[in-house]
A and B are shown apart, each in its own frame.
Chain A
Amino acid sequence: MTLTTPTTRTEYCVIACAEAWRDNGEILASPMGPVPALGARLAKSTFAPDLLLTDGEANLVSLDGTPEGWLPYRKHLTMVTGGRRHVMMGASQIDRHGNQNISCIGDWHRPTRQLLGVRGAPVNTLNNPTSYWIPKHSTRVFVPRVDMISGVGYDSAEAAGPSATRFHRIPYVISDLGVFDFATPDHSMRIVSLHPGVTLTEVQEATGFPLAVPEEVPYTREPTPHELHLVREVLV
């Protein structure tokens, strides 16, 4: 693909994911999934050079894979509780206040579909910024209420008290249709931008709850030619 080819939807998603780590400083970017991973590498290659990345095992690595540190799971979990990390997790379900589910579908006591389990979502959400990447935006994922709260949303953190809200933050939810945040008075999900080609109706129909909509809905920004070059020819 040459640089004159129009920007694809996936590339807008990569740009949106990269933007989540802007101005994050010297912290660990923990992307889960290929699009967030490319986004994190793009951010580090351009506007967020101080980010730390892992090789997916126990090494902290530079962009070319050179190890610069050791981060086995036990230290990784301390990095979480120390707060020097911004993770972008997946979500099988997510609701209006950012509660996320990766554990199971249906009644937890006897699920209709067992998924991964809560994994580190409870500790992530209470301790370090936790964003979400959802590759296929639909009413199956964006639901009124999740079946098993794994990642803690704003309303649940509020109800749990000050030790839950102290470090709780969900900067962004990024899907194949747009970018969302919780910068509303009641911390309900708001549209930040739509990816070019996506209509407001389309995203509302694919969301199982009302979204806060700003007066003017911007489009996700265009990649620069340098970013497109990196995404298409260097980082892949």
Chain B
Amino acid sequence: MTDKTMTPDEVISRLRSGMTLGIGGWGSRRKPMALVRALLRSEITDLHVISYGGPDVGLLAAAGRIRKLTAAFTTLDSIPLEPHYRAAREQGTLELTEIDEAMFMWGLHAAANRLPFLPVRAGIGSDVMRVNPHLRTVTSPYDDGEEFVAVPALRMDAALVHLNRADRLGNGQYLGPDPYFDDLFCEAADTAYLSCEQLVDTADLTKDHTPQTLLISRHTTTGVCETPNGAHFTSCAPDYGRDEAFQRHYATTPYAQFAARFLSGDEQHYQSQVQAWHKEQQ
């Protein structure tokens, strides 16, 4: 069977400017940050990013890589407003498709099921309809005759997700409390790349854990890479929590200054600079 292991840079080498890119996780939780950092090291830009947004969106927006964003929110959770995303919106530097959290989920389901849309009781009555004039409604063909928003499929060229463990075939396992929507992202994408805290043998995935933890199945993954601490500074329970001190530093430092220190080298450079930064704070 195919060994799908690759490095983060190999993952990014398969992406192109202009692509529609889904990013898993939720807010500042289990974001594929090592892959986002690798993306920042590349020249890829003009992206349509689809994300339950966190610092993935903030960093890519600050670096000017996002042409268009589809999101219901962008937040750092413990810091409600993502500063770089805010700046991008207030300076008008990105196009936004703002939809509701449930509309987003049904858009993923539609894409995963190869449907053009799914109906949802959300959006009508709100300004989501005003700011998204492309959204259409659909009337139930049954006796109720109710009208719903027809959420268009959120189909994507590529998806990036981060899990706790994976095997070399691309099976992914989450060990935290919430799968978020990472399996749907992979199913909604033409190609999906999975980074993980630890690559293990297939047999080891279920040695100490139930099969229900096997969130992502290899038929949906294109590539897999081991990136220890790869969700940093977002949380990756149970391996580690959010690095709150560092997130505060990120949120209060001008992007150019942050990037100069932390994003000027490879992933190893990033991780060592984070360690050094923590030592300086003691």
Contacts and interface: CB of A to CB of B under 8 A. Distances in A.
Contacts of B75: 116-117
B121 interface: yes
Contacts of A122: 100, 102-103, 122-123, 125-126, 128
Nearest to B184: A74
A148 B147 contact: no
Nearest to A80: B102
Most buried by B among A73, A116, A162: A73
B74 interface: yes
Contacts of A73: 26, 101, 105, 178, 180-181
B143 interface: no
A117 B98 contact: yes
B72 A114 contact: no
A119 B72 contact: yes
Contacts, number: 136
Interface stretch (B84-92, B196-204, B245-253): B84-92
B127 A72 contact: no
Given A58-B178, A73-B178, A159 B125 contact: yes
Nearest to A103: B98
Given A161-B147, A163-B124, A116 B80 contact: yes
A164 B92 contact: no
A149 B126 contact: yes
B73 interface: yes
Contacts of B130: 108, 149
A121 B100 contact: yes
Interface string A61-92: 00000000010111001001100000000000
A123 B86 contact: no
Contact-residue bracket for chain B: 35 or more
A148 B99 CA distance: 12
Nearest to B148: A163
B280 interface: no
A125 interface: yes
B131 A77 contact: no
Nearest to B29: A57
B26 to A, nearest CB: 6
A123 B102 contact: yes
Given A119-B72, A122-B122, A104 B89 contact: yes
A157 interface: yes
A77 B72 contact: no
A34 to B, nearest CB: 14
A110 interface: yes
A118 B128 contact: yes
Contacts of A167: 121
A61 B46 CA distance: 44
Contacts of A113: 86, 90
Contact of B125 (A57, A77, A115, A125): A125
Given A74-B179, A122-B122, A163-B146, A148 B127 contact: yes
Contacts of B105: 73-74, 77
Contacts of B147: 161-163
A235 interface: no
A207 interface: no
A16 interface: no
8 contacts: A73-B181, A110-B92, A114-B90, A118-B73, A118-B100, A120-B100, A122-B126, A123-B101
The 8 closest A-B pairs by CB, nearest first: A117-B73, A123-B122, A160-B125, A58-B177, A123-B102, A152-B125, A114-B89, A122-B100
Interface of A: 57-59, 70, 72-74, 77, 80-81, 103-104, 108-123, 125-127, 148-152, 156-157, 159-164, 166-168
Given A77-B102, A120-B102, 16 more contacts: A74-B105, A77-B101, A108-B127, A111-B89, A113-B86, A114-B90, A119-B73, A120-B100, A122-B100, A123-B101, A123-B120, A148-B131, A152-B125, A157-B125, A163-B124, A163-B146
